[in-house]
Amino acid sequence: MSEKEEGVFRSAEMSLVQLYVPTEISREVLYDIGKLNLIQFRDLNSKISEFQRSFVNELRKLDNVERQYIFFKNELDKKSVELKKYPYEQEFNKICAQSDIDELTENGQLLEDRVGQLIESLYNLYEKEKSLKQFKYSVQSVDNFFKLNASNLPSSHDNEHDHLLNNLESGTQYTSEMNTSSFISGVISRDKVQVLQQILWRVLRGNLFYYTEELPELIYDAKSETKVAKNTFIIFSHGQLIHQRIKKICESLDCDLYNVDSTEDLRSQQLEEINGNLSELDIVLDQTDVALNSELIAISKDLSKWWEIVAREKAVYKIMNRCDYDGSRKTLVAEGWIPKDEIDTLNSTVKQTSNTLPIIVNILETTRTPPTFHRTNKFTAAFQAICDAYGVATYREVNPGLPTVITFPFMFAIMFGDLGHGIILSLAALALVLNEKKIGAMKRDEIFDMAYSGRYILLLMGLFSIYTGFLYNDVFSKSMSFFNSGWKWPEEFEIGDNISAEQIGVYPIGLDPAWHGTENNLLFTNSYKMKLSILMGYLHMSYSYVFSLVNYIHFKSMIDILGNFVPGLLFMQGIFGYLSLCIVYKWSIDWYAIGKQPPGLLNMLISMFLSPGTVEEPLYSGQASIQVILLIVALICVPWLLLLKPLYFKRKFDQEAKYKQLNDDSNDESLVESHEGDDDEEHEEHTFGDIMIHQVIHTIEFCLNCVSHTASYLRLWALSLAHAQLSTVLWTMTIGNAFGATGIAGVLMTVLLFGMWFILTVVILVVMEGTSAMLHSLRLHWVESMSKFFEGEGHPYEPFGFEGLLDEYI
């Protein structure tokens, strides 16, 4: 087997292959190909709607099975039964026989019927239990009511209502008038008690007696699957008509009404009967529940296995629906993209599957654009994802994901430079990296999953932050003295004198600690960090810009090199390259030694444009003429960039048109035919107008972007200054206060303020500031760097495989 292409600097080379598979073994072959996870199948039936394809019936059947499985899963979730997970490798090595699938289908139907039945009967039983319980409580509360009022009777006055009560209790006089009972009793949910009372009061104009009592337990409602607090109520009033109205009102408020007998003996009989029924019901209910539970537990053991089989089967049929048939429907014709160096793997796999029947693998020549496939590993995957989130690279163009591996964390670190914060970040990332297997198997929520998948990014960000923090000489806003300082303070002075240090050398690595805490510290770090960010930005952009040259060379586009790259390079280097060079040159001159005034570089750059030819504070001799030359070059580059490419294409089109005219008569027919061909992507024709407009936009954008993007890198300066200042402020406001105090107060203050300082450091400085620096770094890559070379017009490579089919369900 040939050595595999790495496929990370550019996307891997792809080939379009065509497979002729005999129909009898097409399922097996596609299953084996799916296990390889290599081919992205093209849809050969894109003009046919989903419902008219060959395997709609099979898919529908499998969909039904999957629906049943979702139903089981929901029921399992309700009972909080865990699914048993299967180690996939051995179980799914071979495709399931068709008979097994049929068995699964039947089994699914059987189980669904059984589970459905159980659930339904359980529902009915719960309903019955509910009504029995409510009946019981109604009877009890009627009982209670009469007992309560009977004891009150002797002392109460002879009003009509007591009279009525008496008669009722004895059950003699009014029975002929009221055929069932003269009161209405029932159960209502507790939050509607008030409403019922008010409505009744208004409708009957107060002409009633209303009694309510809370139920001692919550009643389970099977419909809403919740337990509801309820009340019993008893309503007394006169007349048949009014009773009808009350009943209607009660029904509209979802009350359950029960006929409770009016005499005590009958009521106790009723109660006995109810209790008997209830205890019987409880037994049946328990049994049914146990039956359902054991059924579900049995299902939970195998469900994930069945589901995986069915999902894979479905995936295979979906692919088969994308394939074509030859005329006699005996062979399946599939087309798909595969990395060129994997064709051998495909061939050997296919051969293994079919011992006797021949399978033909053809490699097709095509003008279609292949999908973009970058081979990544666990280290590069997250960086690639960052770039792919912006746009998928055009096929075979330079992959921005590769330099991003270093530049992204480094740009972050320039803004996040603090040794201490870097260590915290690295340790957190290291914990994720070292435990990646364990954490990888866990269920992760969204935020944690982001940190987990970006763990290598975080690790590099932390490590580079340690380095930049070391260079900035910042550890939790304090400085460190590893080497001898390059500055010497004077020996003799009075307290309170404003003294300046004297230079005796250069601090070898990083910022001199002598600057820490000085009055003009900010003045110096400002100038240093600003120049640092301009130089870094300029280098980052130039580096990215060279990739566009690499692209042009790879795609053999000479006109793009001459018409785009060269003028752009001259323009950018002539202005910002020159500025960067001046910054470094100015640093390398000892201005005090030669006794000259050091020029301000910003003014120099401005006057280079506004008053060319005059230099007020010279940086070097001959500066005026060099600046004029650079300016002229930059000015020439603009029309060069604007016109060369469109004019070249105009000439080419004119020539082609001439050529076409000559051949028009003879070639008419073949042209029509070639246009008819197919299909999903047409290679659009560019006219001169299109190219001109495109180039005008490109020119304006490029020239303006040179300025604005350089300015944009100043965010490196701003954020790193802000970060350093914020950590200084945090130190002085929290733990810095603790160091003066002594005794117990000192101990307490130190401990408490340290805790506060540490928590705030992690939450604000590491997490919040880190997130913001990361977003800024992301922007610098997406906008400032990638705009220099990245086209991003590819489509991603999505091979057919079985990984993660059930992720959304299980």
Strand pairing category for 226-228 and 183-189: unpaired
Can you say whether residue 595 is alpha, beta or left, with left for phi > 0 and alpha for psi between -120 and 50 degrees? Answer: left
In our burial notation (b when 16+ CB lie closer than 10 A, e otherwise), range 235-268 reads: bbbbeeebbeebeebbeebebbbbebbbbeeebe
In the chain, the amino acid numbered 711 is A
Q: Give the per-residue SS3 of 720-776.
A: HHHHHHHHHHHHHHCHHHHHCCCHHHHHHHHHHHHHHHHHHHHHHHHHHHHHHHHHH
Closest CA to 563 of 656, 650, 658, 659: 650
Near another protein in 587-606, by CB under 8 A: 587-592, 598
Least spacing, CB of residue 452 vs another protein, in Å:
21
Stretch that binds another protein, among 439-447, 523-531, 604-612, 714-722 (CB under 8 A): 523-531
Single out the residue of 222, 439, 501, 582 in contact with another protein (rule: CB under 8 A). 501
Q: Does 254 bind another protein (CB under 8 A)?
A: no
Least spacing, CB of residue 399 vs another protein, in Å:
10
Q: Does 492 bind another protein (CB under 8 A)?
A: yes
Single out the residue of 154, 206, 327, 496 in contact with another protein (rule: CB under 8 A). 496
For 16, phi then psi, to 5°, come to -95, 120
Q: Are residues 424 and 762 in contact, defined by beta-carbon separation less than 8 angstroms? A: yes
Least spacing, CB of residue 533 vs another protein, in Å:
10
Q: Does 740 bind another protein (CB under 8 A)?
A: no
Is residue 109 within a helix (H) or strand (E), and if so which, with residue range? helix 98-152
Sequence-distant (6+) residues with CB within 8 A of 464 are: 409, 410, 412, 413, 422
Q: Does 527 bind another protein (CB under 8 A)?
A: yes
Least spacing, CB of residue 622 vs another protein, in Å:
21
Return the number of the residue (517 or 639) whose C-beta is nearest another protein: 517
Return the number of the residue (563 or 599) whose C-beta is nearest another protein: 599
Least spacing, CB of residue 585 vs another protein, in Å:
10
Return the number of the residue (218 or 584) whose C-beta is nearest another protein: 584
Cis? peptide before 256, omega within 30° of 0: no
Stretch that binds another protein, among 2-10, 127-135, 220-228, 353-361 (CB under 8 A): 2-10
Q: Does 410 bind another protein (CB under 8 A)?
A: yes
How many other CB atoms sit within 10 Å of the CB of residue 784? 21
Q: What is the DSSP string of 187-231?
A: EEEGGGHHHHHHHHHHHTTT-SEEEEEE-SSPEEETTTTEEE-EE
Q: Does 520 bind another protein (CB under 8 A)?
A: yes
Stretch that binds another protein, among 15-23, 32-40, 397-405, 762-770 (CB under 8 A): 397-405
Return the number of the residue (618 or 746) whose C-beta is nearest another protein: 618
Single out the residue of 116, 358, 517, 796 in contact with another protein (rule: CB under 8 A). 517
Closest CA to 255 of 136, 145, 131: 131
Return the number of the residue (414 or 630) whose C-beta is nearest another protein: 414
Q: Does 732 bind another protein (CB under 8 A)?
A: no
Stretch that binds another protein, among 104-112, 260-268, 520-528, 642-650 (CB under 8 A): 520-528
Return the number of the residue (450 or 506) whose C-beta is nearest another protein: 506
Return the number of the residue (521 or 737) whose C-beta is nearest another protein: 521
Least spacing, CB of residue 547 vs another protein, in Å:
12
Sequence-distant (6+) residues with CB within 8 A of 679 are: 46
Q: Are residues 803 and 311 in contact, defined by beta-carbon separation less than 8 angstroms? A: no
Stretch that binds another protein, among 52-60, 399-407, 710-718, 783-791 (CB under 8 A): 399-407
Single out the residue of 255, 424, 536, 738 in contact with another protein (rule: CB under 8 A). 536
Q: Does 693 bind another protein (CB under 8 A)?
A: no
Which residue intervals of 573-713 are DSSP H helices?
578-588, 591-594, 601-610, 623-676, 688-712
Q: Are residues 124 and 118 in contact, defined by beta-carbon separation less than 8 angstroms? A: no
Stretch that binds another protein, among 284-292, 358-366, 419-427, 508-516 (CB under 8 A): 508-516
Single out the residue of 148, 364, 584, 775 in contact with another protein (rule: CB under 8 A). 584
Single out the residue of 489, 555, 620, 754 in contact with another protein (rule: CB under 8 A). 489
Return the number of the residue (323 or 414) whose C-beta is nearest another protein: 414
∠ CA(257), CA(260), CA(262), 5° rounding?
Answer: 140
Q: Does 515 bind another protein (CB under 8 A)?
A: yes
Stretch that binds another protein, among 155-163, 208-216, 226-234, 376-384 (CB under 8 A): 376-384
Return the number of the residue (279 or 588) whose C-beta is nearest another protein: 588
Q: Does 500 bind another protein (CB under 8 A)?
A: yes
Is residue 74 within a helix (H) or strand (E), and if so which, with residue range? helix 56-78
Contacts 24+ apart (CB under 8 A), 382-388: 382/453, 382/454, 382/455, 382/456, 382/457, 383/408, 383/456, 383/457, 385/453, 386/457, 386/778, 386/781, 387/781, 387/786, 388/796
Least spacing, CB of residue 776 vs another protein, in Å:
17
Least spacing, CB of residue 501 vs another protein, in Å:
5
Per-residue x/- mask for another protein, residues 431 to 470, rule CB under 8 A? ------------------------------------xx--
Return the number of the residue (72 or 412) whose C-beta is nearest another protein: 412
Q: At what angle are helices 455-472 and 446-453 packed, to 10 degrees?
A: 70
- Give whole-number Cα distances, 94 to 31, 62, 97, 313, 320, in Å: 8, 19, 9, 12, 18
For residue 685, the SS3 value is: coil
Angstrom distance (rounded) from CA 807 to CA 108: 21
Q: Does 495 bind another protein (CB under 8 A)?
A: yes
Least spacing, CB of residue 586 vs another protein, in Å:
9
Least spacing, CB of residue 495 vs another protein, in Å:
6
Single out the residue of 208, 532, 630, 773 in contact with another protein (rule: CB under 8 A). 532
Instruction: Quote the tokens at residue 331.
Output: 């062979």
Number of residues that bind another protein (CB under 8 A): 63
Return the number of the residue (307 or 412) whose C-beta is nearest another protein: 412
Q: Does 402 bind another protein (CB under 8 A)?
A: yes
Q: Does 510 bind another protein (CB under 8 A)?
A: yes
Angstrom distance (rounded) from CA 407 to CA 403: 6
Q: Does 524 bind another protein (CB under 8 A)?
A: yes
- Give whole-number Cα distances, 516 to 173, 472, 480, in Å: 105, 10, 9
Q: Does 379 bind another protein (CB under 8 A)?
A: yes
Angstrom distance (rounded) from CA 624 to CA 604: 10
Instruction: Quote the tokens at residue 409.
Output: 């964390």
Residues listed for the chain = 810
174 secondary structure, DSSP code: G
Return the number of the residue (392 or 532) whose C-beta is nearest another protein: 532
Instruction: Quote the tokens at residue 449.
Output: 């999953």
Stretch that binds another protein, among 41-49, 498-506, 674-682, 714-722 (CB under 8 A): 498-506
Q: Does 486 bind another protein (CB under 8 A)?
A: yes
Per-residue x/- mask for another protein, residues 334 to 373, rule CB under 8 A? ----------------------------------------
Q: What is the DSSP string of 551-585?
A: HHHHTT-HHHIIIIIHHHHHHHIIIIIHHHHHHHH
Near another protein in 9-28, by CB under 8 A: 9
Which residues of this chain interact with another protein, rule CB under 8 A?
A: 6, 8-9, 377, 379-380, 402-403, 405-407, 410, 414, 467-468, 471, 486-487, 489, 492-503, 505-512, 514-515, 517-521, 523-524, 527-528, 531-532, 535-536, 539, 584, 587-592, 598
